[in-house]
């Protein structure tokens, strides 16, 4: 088996909602892209509850287009799982869908939500990714795609606003913060929803967290991660840029 050292690394990021990856790890994905990795972006729910002006079916389509446009900025492969916003459950069918997604994505490393983040959809995604990436390498569990060659390391990205999250690894995103913000701006429906109806300037929010993580790690802007330190996902190699 070729290790990621011999060929292009495949970096899979899995977010609960269509803009989570931009908020929590897009600066790192941009660095991975810049070093030649293939980026794969997976969005679990369709985000169809996040608006006062669009009805859910229309909003889901808008958000799919926004997320796909953002993913295209990193030439990413894009998986849209289309589960309902606010009602993601860890049941048998959902787990099988995640196993198939991970097999199709064939990741060398996975970035996803921390197990104790603020939103239940985030927590469920974290759990689904954890268990499904393990089972993706179990041959007797059959899905459309071939069994994955290994159990990939997982890096949990920051919680919203960094609350109750102590990073163990930092990635310098001083050069890619602009790309991260550019990707977030693709989510026009959310800039409106968060700004006009929730009073949150999400671009300032993102820059503030990045500055704080930068302060902690001695650079201008950073993103923080915590590796899932369980066998056999550990190792001696630093995978993040
Ligand atoms: Zn979210």
Per the DSSP assignment, residues forming a β-bridge with 112 are 14, 156
Helix or strand or coil: residue 90?
A: coil
Strands (E), 105-208: 109-112, 154-157, 169-172
Q: How far is the CA of 58 from the centre of ligand 1 (A)?
A: 19
Q: How far is the CA of 79 from the centre of ligand 1 (A)?
A: 16
Q: How far is the CA of 36 from the centre of ligand 1 (A)?
A: 27
Residue-wise pLDDT for 102-121, tens only, equals 999 999 999 999 999 999 99
Cα-trace Rg, the chain: 17
Question: Which segment of 1-10, 125-134, 207-216 scores lowest on mean pLDDT?
Answer: 1-10
Q: How far is the CA of 218 from the centre of ligand 1 (A)?
A: 28
- Give the C-alpha distances (Å, rounded to integers) separating 210 from 164, 177, 223: 16, 8, 6
Q: How far is the CA of 83 from the centre of ligand 1 (A)?
A: 13
Contact, 177 vs 210, CB < 8 A? yes
Residue-wise pLDDT for 139-198, tens only, equals 999 999 999 999 999 999 999 999 999 999 999 999 999 999 999 999 999 999 999 989
Q: How far is the CA of 122 from the centre of ligand 1 (A)?
A: 6
Show the domains of the chain with their CATH numbers.
Answer: 10-227 (3.40.50.10320)
The single-letter DSSP state of residue 196 is: I
Residue-wise pLDDT for 52-107, tens only, equals 889 999 999 999 999 999 999 999 999 999 999 999 999 999 999 999 999 999 99
Enumerate residues 6+ apart whose C-beta is below 8 A from 181: 203, 206, 207
Q: How far is the CA of 85 from the centre of ligand 1 (A)?
A: 9
* Nearest alpha carbon to residue 172 among 76, 37, 65, 34: 34
pTM of the model: 0.96
Q: How far is the CA of 216 from the centre of ligand 1 (A)?
A: 24
Q: What's residue 1's pLDDT? A: 41
């Amino acid at each position: 088996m070729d290790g990621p050292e011999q060929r292009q690394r495949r970096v899979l990021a899995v977010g609960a909602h269509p803009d989570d990856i931009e908020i929590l790890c897009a600066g790192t994905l941009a660095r991975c892209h810049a070093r030649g990795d293939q980026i794969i972006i997976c969005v679990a729910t369709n985000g169809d509850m996040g608006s006062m002006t669009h009805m859910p079916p229309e909003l889901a389509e808008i958000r799919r287009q926004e997320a796909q446009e953002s993913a295209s900025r990193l030439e990413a492969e894009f998986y849209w799982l289309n589960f309902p916003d606010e009602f993601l459950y860890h049941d048998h069918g959902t787990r099988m869908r995640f196993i198939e997604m991970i097999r199709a994505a064939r990741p060398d490393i996975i970035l996803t939500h921390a197990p104790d983040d603020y939103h239940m959809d985030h927590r469920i995604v974290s759990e689904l990714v954890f268990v499904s990436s393990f089972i993706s390498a179990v041959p007797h569990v059959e899905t459309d795609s071939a069994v994955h060659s290994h159990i990939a390391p997982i890096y949990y990205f920051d919680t919203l606003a960094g609350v109750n999250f102590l990073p163990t690894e930092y990635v310098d995103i001083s050069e890619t913060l602009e790309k991260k913000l550019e990707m977030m701006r693709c989510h026009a429906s959310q800039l409106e929803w968060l700004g006009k109806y929730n009073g949150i300037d999400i671009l300032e929010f993102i820059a503030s967290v990045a500055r704080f993580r930068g302060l902690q790690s001695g650079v201008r802007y950073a993103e923080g991660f915590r590796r899932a330190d369980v066998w056999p996902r550990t190792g001696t190699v630093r995978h993040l840029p």
